[in-house]
Structure 1
Amino acid sequence: MTDVTSAPRELRKGANVAIRDLGGELGGLTVFLDSRGHDGETIDADVSVLLLDASGKVRSSADFVFYNQPIALNGAVHLRDKLVPEPDSDEAAAGWSSDVVTLELDDVPQEIERIVVAASLDASTARTFGDAAGVRLRLQRSSDAADLLVFDIDDATTESALVFGEFYRRDEDWKIRAVGRGYQAGLAALVTEHGVDVSEEADEPEGPEAPAVDETPDEAPAPPGDAEQAPAPPMPAEVDDDTGTSSPATPAKRSVSVRRPTRAPRLPVDWNASIPADDGNDWQAARLFPVAGIGSGEEQERRATSALLAVMSMVREFGAALTGRCGAPRGTITTYIEVPFGQDEEAYRPDGVIQVRRGTREWTALVEVKTSTGRLNVEQIEKYVEIARARGYDAVITISNELAGGDADHPVAVDRRKLRKVSLHHLSWDQIRAEAVLAARHRGVSDATQAKVLEEFIRYMSHARSGMGGLGDMGPSWVKLRDAVKSKTARASDKATGEISARFDELIQHLGHHMTGLLGVEVQSLAPREAPDHASRRQQLADSGLMFGRLKVPGAVDVLVVGADLRADKASAAITIGAPRGDTRPLTRVNWLLRQLPDEAKDSIRIEAHMAGPRAVSTAALLGKARQDPSCLVPEEQREIKAFTISLEVPLGNKRAAGTGTLIGSVKGATTTFYADVVQHLRPWVAKVGSPSRAE
């Protein structure tokens, strides 16, 4: 949770307050729905947002924001990833977890009069909010993460869906009301009451069934104690007997499914398509950002800076995504290149300046850019921090192909004492490219011309001569460490061991950004965060030549484990999935898994079945053999199978750079191929209603 210097206002059930009275900027708000279980257990709640017009109903299914549809109004309402506290924090020990919604109220159209924020529990768990040890709503100002308001809900009992609060217009102003109203019948009952047409059909046409959601609305009284009750929704418009059409007040709505997603996002079908062959002519298409004529590294850097800053100011969705990661408010972006500054009687010229204006507030950051193999310089960065502090600027942003390895927040170790009034942020070209692809091809850009500009910029970034290609090699210590591991002379204390271990962490981040662009969801790299973990990983690399990293894909059945074995010359990718529970036979469980793997999946994929019990017992077979004889994975004495681990190994390249025949290319290829062949097809087991023991 966020520490603040002043206590937030506490709101009681039914009370309301104007956003302006909280000191919050109109629009830039972050809503946290916090929950925790007893004895450190987490409550896995799902947030939803309903955008209501004067009738108290949604205009269409597009006004329903939830896990199957996380964005509305071109990003003005955005359901973010679940926020889990650091493992060693007090919040983690207490079992707190937070669901996050960002609101840009300035961008909400006038016809939307109420924004209802709610949460629900998965119907298959049979849990209610009464099982929670704590449930609350928190409101933050997005610009500086200051807590503005808190509303604790302490009277939940048997409800599986809960309206935490609502934002509503009053006299051209926005207010927030603490609601705390529950629904025993779950999410479907809540959204049906507000005009969402809920589909009774599952999104997935095959595989294990998810429990059906009860759609019977649950009666509950309006929240007490509010002198400004929201108007009661009018009766639906009647159908005209002469024309057979209804009034415009009740537009047709597409049915949506509120079933919780159980399938990982899919790769695009052309994810491994090669570049088309030359058509034979020597005509070159005119490009908005040409690579022709790039000479020196200085010219490459200047072009990259100008192109990036120009696109940030031109394409609002892209610029807001990048500046938002650096703490800027959402507003009008203006950019400059090579702005001269005087400091300590010397002249300095940062590569760029970004200014964001929102109302009377102005946020300013200095920008330092490196391309290709250019490395950031600590003395230069610290000097820019001094310039920013002297002028009252907010931040310094560095951009390069470097990624922060290990547990660092920045590729360069800057004296933290210098950052008391100025924040320091790093954006890698990998991260910038992923944000551009997300905006252009997944989230969408509202203006068609701006969308074309962003596509041109993506094309420019992807060209080898742009210098913006991302992680390019395993570093100068790669050959030395590789040879030492093979000859068994590597030691954990060697400088090269530490450098390559940290570089592999950077490779995992690179993979995360790569998969983010392909899948359209933010794939998180889970690098180790503690010194003992780093030490053990260096020891493992020296002793056995093994390196591992993890990727968390929203919707996937588990974390994806990516590895490299320098002694066996193998790159690998693996994932674990829980087996069906209950009294199902071991062979039935094996067949349940095999049915999920497509015919295109390689026969060389390895399946390991883990048995229940105190001893680590397992069986293993290649997919080709298991398809012919599923019983080869059945344990002796018909022991219970508790989980399966599926893995793929490919030859590991030994070259330092990226591309074919390299470690980076091998690990990247293994990860993407394994995801395409296995991960995106896997679904967790869910017991059928009335038959929890069957897995068919």
Structure 2
Amino acid sequence: MPSAGELPVHLSKGANLALRSLDEELGSVTVILETEGSEGTAVDADVSVLLLGDDGRVRSNDDLIFYNQPVGADGAVHLRDKIRTDHQSTPVASDVVTVELDDLPDDVARIVLSASLDPTLGITFAAASSVTLRIARSSDAQELVIFGLEALSSETAMLFGEFYRRAGEWKIRAIGQGFADGLTALVTEFGVDVDNSEPALGEDLSADDSTSDASAEANTSNPSSPVMTEEALPVEITPVPAGTTRDDTAPEPARTAKVSVRRSTRAPKLPTDWDRTIPADTDADWQRARLFPVAGIGGAEEQERRATSALLAVLGIVREFGRAVTARVGAPAGAVTTFIEVPFGLDEQAYRPDGVITVKRGQREWRALVEVKTSDGKLNFEQVDHYVEIARAKNFDAVITISNQLAGSNDEHPIAFDRRKLKKVSLHHLSWEQIRTDAILLSRHARAADNTQAVVLDEFLRYMEHPRSGLHGFTDMGPEWVKIRDAVKHRTLRASDKGCAEVIAHFDQLVRHIGLQLTSLLGVETSIQPPRARADGTTRPQQLADSGQLFGSIRVPGAVDALVITNDLRSERVGVSIQVDAPRDGRPLTRINWLLRQIPDARDALRVEALLAGGRGLSTAELLGSVRKKPELLVPADGRDIRAFRLTLELPMGTKRNSGTGGVIRSVHQATTHLYAEVVQHLRPWNAKPPQLTAPTPD
């Protein structure tokens, strides 16, 4: 069986391979056909799947799965939506088909994979720069097989390959045979009744005899090929030459209504067995099929195993995503390969980390052990310590921990660790929120370069968003929150009280959580700025005890200043503010009107402060609704200069410690996003006008 490092297997024309050599328990596969056009020309091929019996013919017309009939065999074969990328210089179109091998009836002996072009377009496969068939394992999107064709000519339909049963096992064979007369010529050779009342797509076959009997011998033409050879197996897909007939004694399968291969301009019809493949009573329970299934997730162990497998698989498949994540832990740019549950020994004890990541660039190979937690699972110091020791003993470069815990900054780790042990091995932490943000940045704002990779990444995001995945991110302020909040409110908190430092750490995680959410929404990397130290140098626990406030700030690239988040536990209010410098010329009223023009849609309850020259803390302040009616309310009575404006949105602080309705996390999120939407994204810094030339005095 090929190892993960040897996958995918590249098949050559005529080669075959046993699926169990790729995965002994492979029961579901995803077939992706990618057709890349040439400069300025799109080649949009359509996948068709034929289910054949032992006689090499369809059992009925329902066994043709294509654009007019996308579901077959009670849902075991399903043609998904087409994906097109037109913004590249060479457009790419992809068709995706899911095949549940374990659910196919026993009388289906072969699954033929083909593709065709719309005859009304007037193009052939010669216009394609490449046509590639990819086979992936549906459970984790691991790419298993690649079969590519280039330098095609006048073909308008291609027979790519087939899955077929041999001795009770499924095998795959690469064929690569072309038909010049389109889809009709191809499917009729397998017994499909085509409706000829419509414009025909071609009745005569254009058989390529060089790919018939000779294809069985192609397996031995390349002795270095990694695929298996078939023992004197005749190729069974050879079309019957024109003018000949099949064995008249062969039983004729039951006929259904003739199939139209003409593209319809109306909505496609439901398959004849629609009431058996989808719920008929209500659409409330309909669920789109998942590349990364969540069904069957039970306890924490299964949840962690699924999350680890899904993440590591996508890191290896989606190159840009793999690079984005591994760059955060110090890995070089290179080819990413991943493994799960690799066994190691240390001091005569067996250990099995959740995964291993390797990045190879040239002759150098960077390696890291991975430990994963999901839901509310917390990282264990002893376990991480053992993995650091294993990494040191095995010359690994790093240990990576992944959980829903958020570190206060990129350089911090949720576990306090002796840095002396990390001279040869680095220790890094990634939160699931950071990983989700990296995926969103690529999926929604940049897009993966490869269409198939984009599909895989989108499916991974769907998996992360499901409650059963356990990848919910930061959702709780911790068990000490209510006790510390009440102590602050009653002014009984002391800096040394148990839980004070924990609440501050959770607030830092909350600020980082908000920053990641803004990154996902805006498509730019925000940064968390450390809280500004007080002039007297008191510690943050003492600052909380004295002021009753928690502070944090987020810097958004392009914004006029950082967003400052203040959580006032005594007044039970959440405030988010931003400061903008006032114009350096003009009267105070002119400067106020300059600000008002930029925030016409901000709510009246926004607090506006005019920061004055002459000393720290000097200011005037009013609510925006009042300033709109009477701007002079902000003009200082003593004529001082207005140096800057601070705009603050305050909301009630939720009493609950979680992210649900009425929770403090939700309150901070709402205040931040509303201030950004109504104010921050509209503010522009003042630019002084260049000095004007004085008009010359007439002679």
State the partner residue of 1:431: 434
TM-score (norm 1): 0.58
User: Taking structure 1 as reference, are residues 405 and 316 closer, same or farther at Cα in structure 2, changes over 3 Å only?
Assistant: same
Matches within 5 A, 1:495-514: 495-514=498-517
Looking at structure 1, the residues matched to 534 and 399 of structure 2 have their Cα atoms a distance apart, in angstroms, of: 27
631 and 615 in structure 1: CA distance in 2 versus 1, 3 angstrom threshold: same
8 A Cα contact 2:478 2:506, kept in partner? yes
Deviation at 1:407, TM superposition (A): 9.8
Cα gap change, 1:408/1:541 in structure 2, threshold over 3 Å: closer, same or farther? farther
CA distance in 2: counterparts of 1:622 and 1:665, whole angstroms = 24
2:497 and 2:453 mapped to 1: Cα distance?
A: 50
Report if aligned partners of 2:560, 2:683 keep a CA contact under 8 Å in 1.
yes
Q: 1:575 aligns with which of 573, 578, 585?
A: 578
Structure 1 residues 409, 662: CA separation in 2 closer, same or farther (over 3 Å shift)? same
| Conservation of the 8 A alpha-carbon contact between 1:587 and 1:631 | yes
Q: Which residue does the alignment assign to 2:302?
A: 299
Q: Given that residues 441 and 520 in structure 2 are in contact (C-alpha distance below 8 angstroms), is that contact kept between their aligned partners in structure 1?
A: yes
Shift of 1:353: 0.3
**Residues 466-496 of structure 1 deviation map (CA, whole Å, 9 limit, x = unaligned):** 1111112001111111221222211111121
Task: Please report how far the alpha carbon of residue 534 of structure 1 lies from its aligned counterpart in structure 2 after TM superposition.
Answer: 8.8
Q: Does 1:289 align with 2:292?
A: yes
1:148 aligned residue: none
- In the alignment, structure 1 residue 345 sits paired with structure 2 residue 331: no
Instruction: Work out which of the two has the higher radius of gyration on C-alpha atoms and give 1 or 2.
Output: 2
Structure 1 pair 310–691 and aligned structure 2 pair: CA distance change class (3 A): farther
Contact persistence 2:531–2:551 (CA under 8 A): no
Structure-2 separation of matches of 1:457 and 1:614: 54
Aligned-partner SS, 1:688: coil
How far off its partner does 1:503 sit? 1.0
- TM-superposed CA distance for 1:511, in Å, is 1.1
Matched residue SS, 1:636? coil
Give the ranges of 4+ consecutive aligned residues of structure 1 lying more than 3 Å apart after TM superposition. Answer: 405-408, 528-536
Does the Cα contact within 8 Å between 2:609 and 2:647 map onto a contact in 1? yes
Question: 1:608: how far off?
Answer: 0.3
Distance 2:346 2:535 in 1: 42
Give, as a single letter, the amino acid of the residue that structure 1 aligns with 2:476.
Answer: D
| CA drift at 1:533 | 9.0
In structure 2, the partner of 1:592 is 594
Residue 370 of structure 1 corresponds to: 373
> In 2 relative to 1, CA 534–297 (structure 1 residues): closer, same or farther, beyond 3 Å?
farther
Between the aligned partners of 2:410 and 2:338, the Cα distance in structure 1 is 31
Q: Does 348-357 or 403-412 show the bigger shift?
A: 403-412
Aligned counterpart, 1:677: 678
- The amino acid across from 1:593 in the alignment is L
CA 1:362–1:615 in 2, change beyond 3 Å: closer, same or farther?
closer
Task: Give distance in 2, aligned partners of 1:411 and 1:508.
Answer: 15
Q: Are 1:334 and 2:337 an aligned pair?
A: yes
Flag the 1:562–1:393 CA change in 2: closer, same or farther, 3 A.
Answer: same
Q: Does 1:609 align with 2:607?
A: no
1:665 equivalent in structure 2: 666
- What's 2:645 paired with? 644
Residue 379 (structure 1) aligned with residue 365 (structure 2): no
CA shift for structure 1 position 418: 1.3
Secondary structure of 2:427's counterpart equals: strand
Residue number in structure 2 paired with 1:689:
690
In structure 1, the residue matched to 2:406 is 403
How far apart, CA to CA, are the structure 1 residues paired with 2:409 and 2:545? 17
SS of residue paired to 2:499: helix
1:483 is aligned to: 486
In the alignment, structure 1 segments of 5+ residues that lack a partner are 1-71, 74-278
2:470 corresponds to: 467
Contact 1:610 1:619 in 2 (8 A): yes
What residue is the counterpart of 1:564 in the other structure?
567
Report deviation, 1:535.
4.7
Contact 1:406 1:528 in 2 (8 A): no
For residues 236-271 of structure 1, what are the alpha-carbon distances to aligned partners after superposition, in whole Å with 9 as ceiling and x for unaligned? xxxxxxxxxxxxxxxxxxxxxxxxxxxxxxxxxxxx
**2:359 — aligned with what?**
356
- 1:557 aligned counterpart, secondary structure: coil
| Alpha-carbon shift at residue 443 of structure 1 (Å) | 2.3
Tell me how far apart the structure 2 counterparts of residues 644 and 310 of structure 1 sit (CA, whole Å): 49
- Supply the AA of the counterpart residue of 1:659: G
Contact 2:531 2:553 in 1 (8 A): no
The residue correspondences of 1:22-41 to structure 2 (distance < 5 A) are none
Measured in 2, the distance between the counterparts of 1:681 and 1:641 equals 20
Taking the aligned partners of 2:536 and 2:409, their CA distance within structure 1 comes to 10
Q: Is the 8 A contact 1:406 1:529 kept in 2?
A: no
Q: Distance in 2 between matches of 1:616 and 1:431?
A: 38
SS at match of 2:539: helix
Indicate if the aligned counterparts of 1:407 and 1:530 stay in contact, CA closer than 8 A.
Answer: no
Cα distance, 1:634 vs. partner? 1.1
Contact 1:406 1:534 in 2 (8 A): no
The offset of 1:463, in angstroms, is 2.2
SS at match of 2:689: coil
Matches for 1:120-199 after TM superposition, within 5 Å: none
Query: 1:15 — aligned with what?
Result: none
Aligned-pair CA distance for 1:527:
2.3
1:548–1:561 CA contact under 8 A, matched in 2:
yes
Query: Relative contact order: is structure 1 or structure 2 higher (C-alpha 8 Å, sep ≥ 6)?
Result: 1
Does the 8 Å contact 2:614/2:640 carry over to 1?
no
Aligned to 2:522: 519
- Secondary structure at the aligned position of 2:600 is classed as coil
Paired with 2:541 and 2:652, the residues of 1 have a C-alpha distance of: 22
Give the superposition deviation at 1:690: 2.7
Q: 1:529 and 1:319, CA in 2 relative to 1: closer, same or farther beyond 3 A? A: farther
Instruction: Describe the superposition over 1:612-669 as per-residue Cα deviations: whole angstroms up to 9, x where unpaired.
Output: 1136321111111111111111111432110000000011101111121111111011
Match of 1:312 in 2: 315
Contact kept in structure 2, 1:528 and 1:534, CA below 8 Å: no
In the alignment, the residues of structure 1 paired with residue 612 and residue 535 of structure 2 have an alpha-carbon distance, to the nearest angstrom, of: 30
Q: Return the letter of the residue paired with 1:591.
A: N
- Structure 2 residue runs without a partner (length 5+): 1-87, 90-281, 694-699
Number of positions where the alignment pairs a residue of Structure 1 with one of Structure 2: 415
Q: Is the 8 A contact 1:406 1:502 kept in 2?
A: no
Contact 1:382–1:418 (Cα < 8 Å) also in 2: no
SS at the partner of 1:493? coil
Aligned to 1:246: none
Report SS of the residue matched to 1:642: strand
Q: Structure 1: how far apart are the matches of 2:415 and 2:469?
A: 23
1:307-345 CA distances to partner (integer Å, 9 max, x unpaired)? 110110010001001111111111111101111111110
Gap change, CA 1:338 and 1:533, over 3 Å in 2? farther
